Chains A and B, each alone.
Chain A
């Protein structure tokens, strides 16, 4: 069965600093990978996805993620965070053979200091 691990429960970063959120997955085949963001009291919004091809994918809000098969990782990065990036971030792996059933990691809550 597939699984997703987000090792960092909380991360605090200063506004303007870079951000990297870690994600490790376990999946037998080529994974579909996703990053979602959840602002307080809101639903989840898709930031970016990886299916195949270029291992560096660009998303919305200035985020990017890099797929590394050898490390089973799909880390999310942003070069310079804004106060509005304070939210919870979820990595997910999609089981495409089962209709894109998603398995989510536990989430990383990002706090942004002024």
Chain B
């Protein structure tokens, strides 16, 4: 049963620290998305990649957030420096360009104190 995996599942950190979240997309999926979910804003698209190239990162605060795909099996989302307002659940999703069905990982719950 192919799944998107995300690590860590939970992260508590202090303001100003660097946070790195990792995602392993489903093998063979060529598009990877990063979303953020908060009570106030709901689900927001931060950035996405196709064939490891960034397609759109307009939803991401550029001064502190960065997203990369070092290879086809790993996507990373970094926050440096982190702030309390970054506290949220961050989801990664991947899809096969042919089906347009996005499969979501379990999320990383980030708490910045």
How many residue pairs link A and B with beta carbons under 8 A? The number is 54
- B28-49 contact mask (Cβ, 8 Å, vs A): 1 or 0: 0001010000000011010010
Contact B91 A44 (CB under 8 A): yes
Which bucket holds chain B's interface residue count? 20 to 34
Q: Which of A42, A46, A98 interacts with B101 by CB under 8 Å?
A: A46
Contact A49 B105 (CB under 8 A): no
Chain A residues with CB under 8 A of B31: 99-100
A100 and B4 CA atoms in complex are apart in Å by: 18
A31 and B4 CA atoms in complex are apart in Å by: 26
Chain B residues with CB under 8 A of A34: 102
A36 and B101 CA atoms in complex are apart in Å by: 11
A90 and B56 CA atoms in complex are apart in Å by: 22
Contact A102 B105 (CB under 8 A): no
Q: How far is the CB of B47 from chain A (nearest CB, A)?
A: 10
Contact A98 B100 (CB under 8 A): no
Q: How far is the CB of B14 from chain A (nearest CB, A)?
A: 24
A43 and B23 CA atoms in complex are apart in Å by: 13
Given contacts A43-B107, A104-B42, A106-B42, contact A98 B56 (CB under 8 A): yes
Q: How far is the CB of A38 from chain B (nearest CB, A)?
A: 8
Chain A residues with CB under 8 A of B91: 43-44
A42 and B50 CA atoms in complex are apart in Å by: 25
Closest to B6 in A: A43
- B47-67 contact mask (Cβ, 8 Å, vs A): 1 or 0: 010100001100000000000
Q: How far is the CB of B55 from chain A (nearest CB, A)?
A: 5
Contact B55 A99 (CB under 8 A): yes
**Sampled A-B contacts (8; CB under 8 Å):** A34-B102, A44-B93, A46-B101, A49-B101, A99-B56, A100-B95, A100-B97, A100-B102
